[in-house]
Structure 1
Amino acid sequence: MQIIDKGTHYEIPRPSRTVLNDLIKHHFPANVRVFDAARKVYVIQSTEGPKVTAFAQRRGFSVVKNVAPAIDYTKVEVPPAVESYGLDFGKLLKRDLFPFQTDGVSFWLKYAGTLCGDDMGLGKTTQAIAATIARQKLYGDAFPALIVCPASLKLNWQAEIKVNTGFDSIILTDTVKRTWPNFWRVMNVPFFIVNYESLKSFFVQKMPPAGQLLVKNIVFTEHSKLFNTIIFDEAHKLKDMSTQQAKFGVGLSFGPKYRGLLTGTPVVNNPKDLVPLLAIMGVLNSVFGGVKAFQDRYCPGGRGAQNLAELSYMLKKHGFYQRFKKEVAKDLPDKTRQVVTIPITNKEEYARAENSLVSYLYEMGKSSEEVQRSMNGEAMVRIGVLKKLSAQGKLKAAVEWIGTVLESGQKMVFFAHHKEIVLAIKREFPGSVTITGDDPVELRQANKNRFQEDPGCQLIICTYAAGGVGHTLTAASHWGCIEMGWNPKDQDQAEDRCHRIGQKNAVNCGYLIGEGTIDEDIYNLIDEKRKMINQIQGGGQDVEVSILKDLIKLLTK
């Protein structure tokens, strides 16, 4: 029998005799040995060279060098995984895919484990959903699927699944903790959504004793084996293998046939961050020879980074793809809007204020037209209270959402109405700058210049009144808001701080909307008025009043 010296590790083909298998396990303990079931070989770490040689001599085996010749990986291209599989990818969902997104779906279908590193705003969520639908159509074995994501994105995933596929999905909460499997078994609901912090609550049956927290020692529930597909959104949250969260993620990935990871920042510190992701993809042992061999090759001692061109090639060859906005700009609209629905944390306080407002509006409706006009000011104040409460209830999720953009190394322009909200966000991001009414004109200009010119300044937080016009903030192609005004023109002008001459990328505008709050009505009304104004190409001086009237009608239905 031949033992293959691969340079980075050794490979011993699994013997047919049980006694030889036992001898291999005896000489090479589990911390230096992994078994690649797909290729039926034992993978031994390169540090065990003397033991491998001694073992081979004692058993009459030969050690054969099979080290690939040196390759200039900077000049090696990986062929794109573009194949139609007999499907019209563009018609998989209820809305058309961009050409680069159909290429992404093709890539997902080529690999059972896929890591999508596309730039923010390129539709990683859409590609993941489309690939799952494609697999179900082709092979009938992709459902049910589990989506693991940050808490702030659960409702967004649910909405995207519904809009794109028409399918319902279940968010795993305490109310369905005992019954959620029945939604698949009885009702055939194909998608389930859970946040990272709830993995233990829903899928871990028994934790190992202190000091023995290894993936293999965690006992997962029987229900965790239900899924055929698992998708991790913002997968860089799993980068630290010493955390429970990463161990739960890796452990849950052993069952599903298809595994997907979405993150624009797969490496945050050094190549070691990839270890849990590669384990989930199913290539850590079979391609890279295990944790020790990977670290020895690409980040010795878990620090630093080396052989990066080779690592990039190997990743792309075995399930990783990444596109940036500038590469697919021809396919993208200049500006897109995305609604991110968020559950608020102050529901009871909000409900009391909403009930008070509705009661006031009913009384207002009983009054004469002249009295109603005089009451409009008070109605605006009370509606403003609701808007502010919604913003306060979204703060935690907003910070998480903004952090995701900044972690990717990109800049963001973020808008709010109330100064208290601006200051609360600034406290969470000390390196950020502001443009508010409290900032002197000189400071506003200095903050704007710093944001535009300093790579280390990633976030600028603006109020609509002070930052909505007259400022060029094209250093960012990501725009977001936690509060909205009344006038479509004002919203568009705020967005256009990024979307103006000098912008080299498509601009992605994110609206953080409080679930079940006045935000939903305001966003829809503004969108309707925007469409109307665009159609008639006129001004908008009366739009604010008409939105208020329409909003009052909605609240008093």
Structure 2
Amino acid sequence: MPTTASTAQRTAPNRRRTSSARRDEDAPLIPILARKVREVEAKAQRGKLGPTNRVKFQVIAFLVREERARVRSDATVDLAARTELLKRLDGVATILAKTAARDTSLIHLLEVDQATSPVARRMRRDWLIESGAELAPDELIITDAAPAPAAPVVPPALADRQVVPPQIEARREANPFLAPDLTLRAPAATPRRRLDGWELMQPLYKAFESGAGGGSASMELPPVPEFDRLSPKGLEVMPHQSRFLEAVRAGHRSFLLADEPGLGKTAESVLAASVANAYPLLAVVPNVVKMNWAREVARWTPQRKATVIHGDGETIDAFADVFVVNYEVLDRHLSWLSSIGLKGMVVDEAHFIKNLGSQRSQNVLALASRIREQVRDPLLLALTGTPLINDVEDFDAIWRFLGWTNGEKPGPELMAKLDATGLTPADKAFYPEARDAVISMGIVRRKKKDVAHDLPDKLIADLPVELDDEFGRSIQRAERELGQRLAAKYRSILEARGDRVRIGEVDEDIVRLVAQAELEESKAAGTGADNVFTMVRRIGQAKALLAADYAAQLQRSVGKVVFFAKHIDVMDAAEAHFASVGLRTVSIRGDQTTPARQQAIDAFDNDPGVAIAVCSLTAAGVGVNMQAASNVVLAELSWTAAEQTQAIDRVHRIGQDEPVTAWRIIAAHTIDTKIAELIDAKQGLAQRALDGVAVDPASSDSVQLSALMHLLREALGAA
């Protein structure tokens, strides 16, 4: 273990000094480990332990072991000081153990004896240097490991599920040899760069989280061309779409297209494929918009043919230019899709792949990696108006899909841009430069108010309702009982520690610990016991008829209305009420077939007799166009700001002529009110990271966790 500079300069043992200064001088690494382990613990409590923090957890674990061994063997440290230092290290180890108990996938990392990956070794080196340690030359210079062999597109677990539609066999027989891409080159040796020794992923996330440098997160785009050379007869490309397409014409090929919902990202993607001649093209989309994607291909590029993959793909046209598949069935088509020579890939609602541990995300990333192996500069588009849900690391999977990073470090192109800044993460000026470098890779973000000047305003109005029947009163009682149960757990922890309970004062660390434990128990319990999920569902049930009655009255004065709910029983109750007052409705739900869903959307848009569309927040909240209405009723609140925004923007989008109003039905004097407040606060992350707005950083805790913490504070009298 390297010796520290401070150890070499240690003063005589009998010199008087403060105990904290003495402890930190004897072991300057310990406060660094304590700070780092709290950072990891906070991420784990929010369910956001991404790859970087997993490495951080690993490095802390083996540095604790190294430091414990050093302290025990250091003869210059007296017994009392050694006991105190070992106690502090045990405190760090205890937090590691608690974090591993919360996320059991971390347990094996506690057993690692040394830093193995270059990222882990760099992290260890940087922390030791920060502590004042003197390192050997071979510990200062860390080189990257040789790249691992490419993983197969089809993992062994999915091999038995693979299908090959008959038409695909016919395509292969018609052209058995895939034309080679002669522009592919063997990768050149990457020159050693100044930043090779730095851990860069966390600084890149930090650059966006802090909104470093301000300004909209949108790359510089070419001006609007003099002539529109792309629009089919009867259609017109809007100026903001035209500028994006000019960037494609200029040769840019990877984009995070993060325009606000409703600005025509699907049309832009279809035309981008035409400009880049990126056929065959694969579009991976939510199930609800498969048919709409096929329509948009026919509408904007009538010379091209799209085919939609359903089930095992028996009905597809293997000779089509565009293959449209939903996330749920992609897993059984990985084999043949990876072998037909795709030259482009679009991922619609790309925030769906943010969970890197999900099979959905792994399928998308594996296919994109194979396309990059087969084609030089393929067209890769990630479309989402809401790329950030709770945490800036939601960018991770999207950046991997686009090839900008590999999760551990930036790719060669981004690394070159970062290196060209002449700065390092130790420089404050690095962060705005780093944010700009990532943006220049292909982030395009436009807001409606800036590019769609004719689009009417959008207003969100809250309508508090009183739940004054017995059902409503039972909900309020259950809410109080939940708060009291949480408070009892809080007090028992204080008593176990020997602390006094003071009215009006709270220990926020314990509040978070109790709320996190309750949230995990609630997820495990499902709907079988009273918890935050069942309580919110009961509030939705209690509001159902009140919300439906308001929607019915609203429809009589303003015309068509879109009614959103989260749960099927709330939708059922609303539809029954609408039928009882003579209103025709259509329903958009998750269990519908794609043709049935599209038929319902068309009926709402085109049939004057259809008054209300009753929609599932999850099934109809993305990719659906419903501009026939200008009023939205949100009968139940979502758990995320993004889900609410997506739902409202089914109506507030290009083609809307009327001001849009979203009416949120909120149960007064219940947790519903706090959830609405938390959802609104969550808008701050996207405003800061994507739009450069100087807003106070909001907590990245989930709405569920924040709501439970609020209930506990209320019960303790400190809300």
Give the alignment's TM-score, normalised by structure 2. Answer: 0.36
Highest relative contact order (Cα 8 Å, sep 6+), 1 or 2?
A: 2
The TM-score normalised by the length of structure 1 is 0.45
Considering fraction of residues, name the structure with more strand. 1
